[in-house]
Amino acid sequence: MKTKLLLSVCLLWAIPNAIGQTGGNNAFAFLDLTYNARQMGLANDFISVMDADINIGVANPAMLNPEMHNMLSVNQALLPGGINVGMGSYGFGFKDKGTMSGFVKYVSYGTFQRTSANGTQEGTFSPVEMIAGAGYGQQLNERLSVGANFYAIFSALENYSSFGAAIDLAGTYYDKEREFALTALVKNAGFQFNTYTKSSTRAQLPVEFQMAASYKLPHAPFRFSLLGHHLNQWDITYNDPNLQPTVDALTGDTIPVPRANFGEKLARHFTYQVETIISDNIHLRLGFDYHRRRELALSQRPGAAGFSVGLGLYFNKFRLDYGFLINSRAGFNNIITFSTQLDKWRK
């Protein structure tokens, strides 16, 4: 057991050393999309709660547990521009031998007109990208668990296609009595096997190291979670290469291009998440991602960019979740999730 735990910790800390930029330089950027309503309602990846939600087990395989046995979940989102995003997932438990998940994710970009270089219409095409994989989670003892996902990645954009594969590795400490969880996750560690064109070189995947913690207040209906994301890369701010130093018209002094300070760089790595458990049947959610707000908010009218809200309704045989994420005044995302434990329909 100690050997397994040591290997898991070593992998969690070793893999992130081979990571690049957060955007623009990686293959398969759709790996970082949000695929379920609970996560979207909490503004970013939600990986630090152990309950019966199979979607958390897909996001963090160390959270896979027997409560997810025979749990089926279907997610559907509609993003700006008519982009469709969806995921289906299923959990299966092996009694004392761990829990498995199977999942399929897809992104459909709609239908586009195909034209020649001179503008002649040559029909239509429908770009699509997919992920298909499986995960396994195992409890090492009463409080420690580990897990891994393996998945194939496929992207078809007009006549160009690419294929890859990746893994997620995770470890979790969970104190059920105090309702406290601490987890670490490496996601999207893998390879692009073939590129879109023969002349292009293989690109890195958007590998990311995350840590998160959750705590449920003992005598209040609030669960607070803190997510640290992109911890493998200190500076995730965007520096516009087109910006140039300016000259003060009064003094003639050169004004350098503004750069993020230590506090700004640190703040970019955190997402704040709150679940209000009104009852066993109604959960309210609120999230805030500072990095998203800084990157997407309109400078003159930032509004509620970076904030998200969500709702969970739990019925006897199924649950419905809804997530609403504000990117900026220019657009927002919606996801609805239907989940059910199949055994309940047999009673």
Structurally, the chain folds into a number of domains equal to 1
Predicted confidence at residue 1, as pLDDT, reads: 40
Q: What is the DSSP string of 275-301?
A: EEE-SSSEEEEEEEEHHHHHHHS-SS-
Give the Cα separation of 102 and 214 in Å (integer): 25
Predicted confidence at residue 109, as pLDDT, reads: 92
Residue 249 belongs to a domain: no
Tell me what the mean pLDDT of segment 265-279 comes to. Answer: 96
Is the confidence at residue 241, as pLDDT, over 80? no
3-state secondary structure of 346: helix
Alpha helices in the chain (DSSP H): 2-14, 37-40, 54-59, 262-267, 290-296
Is the confidence at residue 2, as pLDDT, over 70? no
Query: What is the torsional sign of CA 53, 59, 65, 71?
Result: positive
Predicted confidence at residue 22, as pLDDT, reads: 59
Contact between 236 and 25 under an 8 Å Cβ cutoff? The reply is no
C-alpha closest to that of 112 among 123, 101, 102, 104: 123
Residue 241 belongs to a domain: no
Strand 128-139, strand 318-328: pairing:
unpaired
Give the Cα separation of 316 and 323 in Å (integer): 21
- The residue to which tokens 């239509």 are assigned: 124
What percentage of the chain carries pLDDT values higher than 90?
67
Q: Which tens digit of pLDDT belongs to each residue from 87-125?
A: 999 999 998 889 999 999 999 998 888 888 888 888 899
- Burial (Cβ within 10 Å: 0-12, 13-18, ≥19) of residue 217: exposed
Tell me what the mean pLDDT of segment 8-19 comes to. Answer: 38
Provide the mean pLDDT of the chain: 89
Q: Side-chain half-sphere of 153: how many Cα atoms within 13 Å?
A: 24
Residue 90 DSSP symbol: E
- The residue to which tokens 């954009």 are assigned: 157
Residues in the chain: 347
The pTM for the full model equals 0.87
Give the Cα separation of 21 and 265 in Å (integer): 14
Residue 197 belongs to a domain: yes
Residue 266 belongs to a domain: no
Tell me what the mean pLDDT of segment 170-181 comes to. Answer: 97
Contact between 59 and 45 under an 8 Å Cβ cutoff? The reply is yes
Q: Side-chain half-sphere of 250: how many Cα atoms within 13 Å?
A: 0
Residue 122 belongs to a domain: no
Predicted confidence at residue 24, as pLDDT, reads: 61
Q: Identify the bridge partners of residue 107 per DSSP, sorted by sequence position.
A: 85, 129
Predicted confidence at residue 330, as pLDDT, reads: 72
Residue 121 belongs to a domain: no
Give the Cα separation of 167 and 36 in Å (integer): 19
Is the confidence at residue 21, as pLDDT, over 60? no
**Domain residue limits at 91:** 2-116+133-236+271-346
Residue 154 belongs to a domain: yes
Q: Which tens digit of pLDDT belongs to each residue from 29-38?
A: 999 999 999 9
Give the Cα separation of 289 and 44 in Å (integer): 7
Residue 30 belongs to a domain: yes
Contact between 189 and 168 under an 8 Å Cβ cutoff? The reply is yes
Q: Identify the bridge partners of residue 68 per DSSP, sorted by sequence position.
A: none
Is the confidence at residue 228, as pLDDT, over 60? yes
- The residue to which tokens 């050169």 are assigned: 254
- Here the CATH number for the domain that contains residue 147 is 2.40.160.40
Tell me what the mean pLDDT of segment 251-273 comes to. Answer: 87
C-alpha closest to that of 186 among 210, 213, 153, 214: 210
Predicted confidence at residue 107, as pLDDT, reads: 96
